[in-house]
Amino acid sequence: MAGLGSPLLLLIFVGAAGATWAAGILLSKSTDALDARLGLGDEVGGLILLSIAGSLPELAITISAAAQGNLQLAAGNLIGGIAIQTMVLLICDVAVGPQRPLTYLVGRLTPVLEGLLVIILVAGVDMGSLLKRSTAIGGRVNPASLGIVVVWVVGLYVINRAARDPRWSIEMPGSQPGRRRHERAHPAQPHPYASASTPRVAAIFGLACLVTLGAGVALEASGNDLANRIGVNGVIFGATVLAAATALPEISSGIAAVRLGDNALAMGDILGGNAFQVCLFLVADLVAGKPVLQSAGNLNAWLAALGIALTAIYGFGVISRPLHCRFRLGPDSLLALAFFGLGIAGLFVVPH
Q: What is the pLDDT of residues 38-96, one digit of tens each?
A: 766 655 555 666 677 777 888 888 888 888 888 877 887 788 889 888 999 999 999 88
In a domain, 188, yes or no: no
Of residues 83 and 247, more confidence is placed in: 83
Stronger pLDDT, 317 or 36, i.e. the higher one:
317
- Which CATH number goes with the domain that contains 46? 1.20.1420.30
> In sequence order, what are the residues at sequence separation of 6 or more whose Cβ sits closer than 8 angstroms to the Cβ of residue 230?
none
| pLDDT surpassing 90 at residue 151 | yes
234 falls within a domain:
yes
Of 254, 273, 285, 227, which is closest to residue 73 (Cα–Cα)? 227
Q: Which of 267, 275, 223 is nearest to 73 (CA)?
A: 223
Return the higher-pLDDT residue of 145 and 232: 145
Supply the pLDDT for residue 256.
78
Q: What is the pLDDT of residue 53?
A: 73
The kind and range of the H/E element at 161 are helix 143-164
- So what's the pLDDT on residue 152? 92
Average pLDDT over residues 233-253: 75
Which stretch of 81-85, 261-265, 270-274, 276-280 has the lowest confidence by average pLDDT?
A: 261-265
Indicate whether 180 belongs to any domain. no
In this predicted model, which residue has the larger pLDDT, 280 or 180? Answer: 280
What are the backbone angles phi and psi of residue 33, rounded to the nearest 5°?
-65, -45
**Looking at residues 276-299, what average pLDDT do you find?**
87
CB atoms within 10 A of CB 253: 25
Are the CB atoms for 19 and 204 separated by under 8 Å? no
Which of the pair, 198 or 101, is modelled with greater confidence? 101
CB count in 10 Å sphere of residue 258: 25
Summarised one tens digit per residue, pLDDT across range 79-89 is 888 988 899 99
In a domain, 114, yes or no: yes
> Which pLDDT score, from 0 to 100, does residue 184 have?
58
Is the residue at 175 inside a domain? Answer: no
- Residue 115 belongs to some domain of the structure: yes
The dihedral through the CA atoms of 221, 222, 225, 226 has a sign that is negative
Q: Which residue has the higher pLDDT, 21 or 280?
A: 280
Q: Is the pLDDT assigned to residue 283 strictly greater than 80?
A: yes
Average pLDDT of 170-176? Answer: 76
pLDDT at site 313: 96
Q: What percent of the chain has pLDDT over 70?
A: 89
Query: Into how many domains does the chain fold?
Result: 1
What is this structure's pTM?
Answer: 0.85
Domain-embedded: residue 123: yes
User: For helices 88-96 and 248-259, what crossing angle results, to 10°?
Assistant: 30
- Mean pLDDT, residues 147-172 taken together: 85
Mean pLDDT confidence for 230-256: 76
What is residue 351's predicted lDDT score, i.e. its pLDDT? 79
Mean confidence (pLDDT) of the chain = 82
pLDDT digits (tens, 9 = 90+) for 320-343: 988 888 888 999 999 999 999 999
CA nearest to 201, candidates 18, 17, 38: 38
Confidence band for 222, pLDDT divided at 50, 70 and 90? confident
- To the nearest 10°, report the CA torsion of 101, 303, 45, 103: -10
Q: Mean of the pLDDT values across residues 188-198?
A: 70
Q: 110-138: buried (b, 16+ CB within 10 Å) or exposed (e) per residue?
A: bbbbbbbbbbebbebbbebbeeeeeebee
Instruction: Flag whether 182 is in a domain.
Output: no
* Contact predicate 1/225, CB 8 Å: yes
User: What's the domain range around 117?
Assistant: 6-169+193-346
What was the pLDDT predicted at 331?
92
Assign 272 a pLDDT band (cuts: 50, 70, 90): confident
- Residue 60 vs residues 141, 150, 186, 246, 301: alpha-carbon distances, Å: 19, 22, 31, 10, 23
